[in-house]
Amino acid sequence: MDQFNLATKRLLVGIISLVCLALSALVWIFGADPQSNPVLGSLTRIGIVLGTLWFALPREGENIAWSKALVPIVGLVVVIAMMRRASWWLLPAAVVIGIAIVIIRPKKKR
């Protein structure tokens, strides 16, 4: 991935997050009934998620080390979440196994 392209996308995600949160504040202040307004809830949640994504995206010069292990971890979490009668310990176990896969995996040889 091109570093300039990644930096531009990171900046764009941050700006969209701030716009969503600012619009959420405006709807809260000027809205007729802000506690039951679905637009307010949507803008707030989208702003928070995009802000979290902005923090998670690498800065210029950083490497995305977890990108290869992310797909199996997400797949495992989705499979566990789809199981209706999963025990309460399956999801934390999947998270621990995913973190172990990322940390214990073999290092790249240069």
Q: Does residue 105 or residue 55 have the better pLDDT? A: 55
Express each pLDDT in 57-101 by its tens digit: 877 655 555 566 666 767 766 666 666 555 666 667 777 887 887
pTM of the complete model: 0.52
Ranges of each domain in the chain: 3-56, 67-104
Q: Cα separation of 42 and 85, whole Å? A: 30
| Separation between Cα atoms, residue 27 and residue 41, nearest integer Å | 10
Query: According to DSSP H, which parts of the chain are helical?
Result: 3-30, 38-56, 67-82, 90-104
Helix (H, G, I), strand (E, B) or coil at 60: coil
Specify the 3-state DSSP secondary structure of 91: helix
Q: How far apart are CA 55 and CA 49, in angstroms?
A: 10
pLDDT in tens, 3-15: 557 778 888 888 9
How far is 62 from 106, CA to CA, in rounded Å? Answer: 20
